[in-house]
Amino acid sequence: MTTARRPTKRPFPLSKVYGLLEPGPVTLVTTVRDGRPNIMTMSWHTMIDFEPPIVACVISDRNYSFKSLMTTKECVLNIPTAKLAKQVVACGNSSGRRTDKFRAFHLTPLPASRVAPPLIAECYANLECRVIDASLTGRYCLFILQVLKAWRTPSMAQPKTLHHLGRGRFMIAGRTIRLPSKMK
């Protein structure tokens, strides 16, 4: 039996695999603790169901946002465009333990309709969410969220969202093409 050769393939470090399975747009998660709103950058999320929309996301228990979400069971997933790239990185490199990120990074809170944490006005879309399953937080820091209410800015037809590739690299969403699809 001959061994198949892979002349064009090289082993790829397991530590970088997540950058290949690039998830959806980077989000800014807002939570509230003791009446004080906070923002955390989050890119590890995935859709689980269409309607009601269910989303799974990983929020490390080392982050200030973890306990806020565990306690209140409410958050908003705010979707920024590339215009907010600096704030996205700043919110991911600082903690709500010490920093009022709305004030420090010049972001504007707007009241949400179904949850206590605010929307971020500058983001093109905002998803008000409730935790419906926290049973895997102990093992994987995995929260299952149901989107209760969604908002988007109609003037931003083709939003240039940010997609995290790892280690400070981001892809900016580009052209949209339309192909036949059985999916909604």
Ligand X SMILES: Cc1cc2nc3c(=O)[nH]c(=O)nc-3n(C[C@H](O)[C@H](O)[C@H](O)COP(=O)(O)O)c2cc1C
Q: What residue ranges bind ligand X (CB under 6 A)?
A: 26, 38, 40-44, 58-60, 63-65, 89, 92, 94-96, 164
Q: Which is nearer to ligand X, 64 or 151 (CB)?
A: 64
Cβ 4 to ligand X shortest distance, Å: 37
Cβ 11 to ligand X shortest distance, Å: 26
Q: Which is nearer to ligand X, 75 or 112 (CB)?
A: 75
In 3-state terms, what secondary structure has residue 97? coil
Cβ 135 to ligand X shortest distance, Å: 18
Distance of CA 166 to the CA centre of its chain: 14
Cα–Cα distance, 114 to 96 (Å, whole number): 23
Cβ 128 to ligand X shortest distance, Å: 18
Q: Which is nearer to ligand X, 113 or 137 (CB)?
A: 137
Amino acid at 85: A
Contact 125, 152 (CB under 8 A): yes
Give the angle 183-158-123 at the CA atoms, nearest 5°: 105
In 3-state terms, what secondary structure has residue 57? strand
Q: Which is nearer to ligand X, 113 or 143 (CB)?
A: 143
Task: For residue 119, give both structure tokens.
Answer: 């929307």
Q: Which residue is nearest to ligand X (CB)?
A: 92
